[in-house]
Chain A
Amino acid sequence: MPSLIDLRRRIRSVKNMQQITKAMKMVSAAKLRRAQEQAIASRPYAGIMERVLRNVAAAARSTEETADLPLLQVREEKRIQLIVVSSDTGLAGAFNSNLFRMAQRFVDEHHAAELRIEAIGRKGRDYFRRRNFNLTGEHVGIVDKPKYHQAAEIADEMIRRYRDAETDAVYLAFNEFKSVMAPNLRLRKILPVELPENADLQIDYIYEQPPGELLRTLLPRYVELEIYRALLESISAYHAARMTAMDAASSNAGDVISDLTLTLNRVRQASITREIIEIVSGAAALG
């Protein structure tokens, strides 16, 4: 039987823990809101980009100007670059481990190719470094508040490697924010760029520059944007996962507290009963 003092001490420590997890949940809720605002702010740009690209691609295709664009060149996938967007910190349930499992499966499926990994986020870097993967780069400290120029730098490096034929394909693995309850794992090929299908409504633009030339400047931006959007999705999903994990931890702590309180009361009652029996039997012995 644990002593009363031990039980009180444990209850106090679990209560402290619960306060911390509650606070962490609240912090993540606030950060989630900020991350989503940032994601919403990037939507107009992304929307316009998508439509312009669709139209320019169709126009360039019709004049066969797409043939010599290096970012559209499809090669046999002998050397594959995988970008994994993880988080810097943990405490978010299966957020990172699910992502790594997907990345691992991707690696297993492409065992014939030479695989290189670009790790964004500390957790991913540690994971792949421990397993002796071929890491081409690591980016720690950018996922918390993603800035466009940081995404652009990563993208430009990927584009350079692709253009110089150091890699034959670039894939991007990240958690997408779907709902607060469950993130959605995504794996996308970002290079070579797969042009969107023809627009339903073809706009007859006046082209100041030939469509092919426009496409040449549009494509790198499109890749940059995709990485930037992935970073934004990932950070939203991260805070959502962390909120869920901390909420579970808080209610778990609540269960532990009520169990311990029940035991405490039983122990206390038992000792009172024992004392009464002692007094009564003492009195009986005297009488």
Chain B
Amino acid sequence: MPDTFQLEVATPERLFIDEQVLQAELPGRNGQLGILAGHAPLLSALGPGVLSYTRYDRQQFLAIDGGFVEVFENHVRVLADHAEFSYDIDVAAARRELDEAHDALRSAQDAPASEAANHAIAKAQARLDAAARSSGETASS
């Protein structure tokens, strides 16, 4: 059995990642999905969250916003609405967005508005988490 698999992360605007990795962890809608080589075919919706993957011994983090993952024939293909590498994330801006989203949630009048606010919170939180986990990783290594 091969011990690596091909990870592709695509957004509508570009192909983000296309490389051989050892392990990947995805923010599935029903909980975190850990994937290793030789995984059975799988389809799942993704929630906003942190996608991490290990290439050789280095771990990378991405904040992604929703989408899908397809696991098939040792290819893991992620369709994300939006993706951002942890080192591209502007932490201050993400924190500001998080605060704004919390404000929006407090002042939300109807269900769709609070749903949108909750989504914005999850998105901003995912970006903060990705940034925090990647800096934690570099600090410990």
Contact = CB atoms under 8 A, between A and B. Distances in A.
Interface of A: 38, 41-42, 44-46, 48-49, 51-52, 55-56, 147-148, 203-209, 213-214, 217-218, 221, 224-225, 228
A38 B72 CA distance: 27
A213 B45 CA distance: 9
A204 B28 CA distance: 19
B37 to A, nearest CB: 16
Interface of B: 8, 10-15, 18, 28-30, 33, 40-45, 67-68, 70, 72, 77, 79, 81
B77 A217 contact: no
Majority DSSP secondary structure for residues of A touching B:
helix
12 contacts: A41-B13, A41-B15, A42-B12, A45-B79, A48-B77, A51-B70, A52-B43, A206-B42, A208-B30, A208-B44, A214-B45, A217-B68
Contacts of A147: 13
Contacts of A42: 12-14
A208 B8 contact: no
Contacts, number: 74
B84 to A, nearest CB: 14
Majority DSSP secondary structure for residues of B touching A:
strand
A208 B15 contact: no
Contacts of A55: 43
Nearest to B8: A44
Given A208-B29, A209-B30, A203 B41 contact: yes
A206 B79 contact: no
Contact of A225 (B8, B12, B77): B12
Given A48-B77, A217-B45, A209 B40 contact: no
Contacts of A204: 41
A44 B43 contact: no
A206 B33 CA distance: 13
Contacts of B70: 48, 51-52, 205
Nearest to B67: A221
Nearest to A45: B10
A225 B12 CA distance: 7
Nearest to B81: A221
Contacts of A221: 67, 79, 81
